[in-house]
Structure 1
Amino acid sequence: MPALPTLPRPPLPAELLPGSLRQRIAQSLADFRIPDFTVPTALARLISRLPQQPPTHALIAALNLALGRILPRDTLAPLGGRHLQMRVLDAGLTLDFGLGERGFRRAVPAAGRKPDLVISATTRDFIALALREEDPDTLFFSRRLRMEGDTDLGLLVKNTLDAVDWDSLKARLGLRAR
């Protein structure tokens, strides 16, 4: 059977832009900061009435992709079998999850039992944390990030996120470090 011909690689969208425009866009993206915003109250009321499983499964999928790659499994061992809850305050989301033998999974809240750790913040603050625009300590001491329950678990989560070498990850993904 003859080998299939290889097609030339199409140019990336950034390669189609003139050099100075490409540089200006790259600089604008490098300097980009998430604006202050909150989810409108009417939308939050609607979201809070919707099933929480789809966003919980999205969170679990993202955590499982990171597990073993950028989140060290052995460091997170104390989370095993514990019930964690993430509350997105302005969006009305409550995401229940935990760490099992095969990775992160959805946790079903037991009647009358509180989660072992609850982490609460606004949508904007969680995004800023994920993009490394804000430091967890800054958000915590300004009371924009709240942890309730087992504070040792909270410190473990915070210290694990702080220990991730985000610049190395960006380099592996071919992204420019800021």
Structure 2
Amino acid sequence: MLQLLCGRISQHGPALLSKPLRYLPFRIQAPLVERLLNRILAEPIQDGELDFLRGRRLQVWVPDLHYRLTLSFGDGGLFQLDDDDADVVIRGDLNDLIRLSAGKWDPDTLFFQRRLLITGDTELGLECKNLLDRLEPGRQPLWLQRLLAVLAGMLTRAEQSATNSGERPAG
């Protein structure tokens, strides 16, 4: 029963999340996203690991959510931009990004499987990929580590269930 529930969530979760993200106004969304990301990335920001983004535009595109997050970096930390212009775009489905963030998959594996795509400024894209390599789950706040571990576990159960039933796993 748990595997069935996990399978449903992994298959339909992105569709459920896409509507609130699509309809949440930017003026409400931006401060929430900025606070969250700056809190999650507080240590790398303090260590100067995001300085390469100063004045540059990074977009994270999650196609299965129909969501694009465009960010830049300045004196106040990361901030969200209200447009789709970007120097570099990192594209990946939600389930892959969850596993990547939880440390279950590494960026190189996803990149070579073409599940994580980086387009635009090659040098900036390489810096972003290297940052992903350095962002180990142990550097994340404990609450986020736990949440990502639960979500990654659900995705693993869903994949096992799909494999056992002969279905194609979702992400």
Same fold (TM over 0.5): yes
Q: Residue 50 in 1 paired to residue 39 in 2?
A: no
Q: C-alpha root-mean-square deviation of aligned residues, in Å?
A: 3.3
For residues 110-144 of structure 1, what are the alpha-carbon distances to aligned partners after superposition, in whole Å with 9 as ceiling and x for unaligned? 7xxx3101111111111111111111111111111
Q: CA deviation at 1:86?
A: 1.2
Equivalent in 71, 75, 98 of residue 101 of structure 1: 75
Q: Which protein, 1 or 2, shows the higher relative CO under an 8 Å CA cutoff with sep ≥ 6? A: 2
| Alignment-derived partner of residue 149 in structure 1 | 120
One-letter code of the match for 2:74? G
CA contact (8 A) 2:101 2:137 kept: no
The aligned residue for residue 120 of structure 1 is 91
Q: Which residue of 1 aligns with 2:106?
A: 135
Structure 2 counterpart of 1:61, from 35, 38, 41: 35
Please say if residues 76 and 156 of structure 1, whose CA atoms lie closer than 8 Å, have aligned partners that are also in contact: no
When residues 58 and 128 of structure 1 are mapped into structure 2, their CA distance, relative to the original with a 3 A threshold, is: farther
Q: Distance in 2 between matches of 1:93 and 1:121?
A: 11
Contact 1:56 1:95 (8 Å CA) reproduced = no
Alignment-derived partner of residue 78 in structure 1: 52
Residues 72-118 of structure 1: CA distance to partner in whole angstroms, max 9, x if unpaired?
A: 542321210111111111011111211111101111327xxx31011
Q: Distance in 2 between matches of 1:49 and 1:165?
A: 29
Q: Give the counterpart of 2:132 among 149, 157, 161.
A: 161
Q: Which sections of structure 2, spanning at least 5 residues, go unmatched?
A: 1-5, 150-171
Alignment check: 8 A CA contact 1:84 1:96 kept: yes
Structure 1 residues 67 and 36: CA distance shift in structure 2, 3 A: closer
Structure 1 distance, partners of 2:83, 2:86, is 7
Task: Return the TM-score normalized by structure 1.
Answer: 0.61
Which entry has the higher C-alpha Rg, 1 or 2? 1
Shift of 1:52: 6.0
Q: Distance in 1 between matches of 2:66 and 2:21?
A: 4
CA distance in 2: counterparts of 1:131 and 1:55, whole angstroms = 24
Partner of 1:159: helix, strand, or coil? helix
Determine if contact 1:47/1:93 at 8 Å carries over to the other structure. no
- The residue type paired with residue 141 of structure 1 is F
What number of residue pairs does the alignment pair up? 137
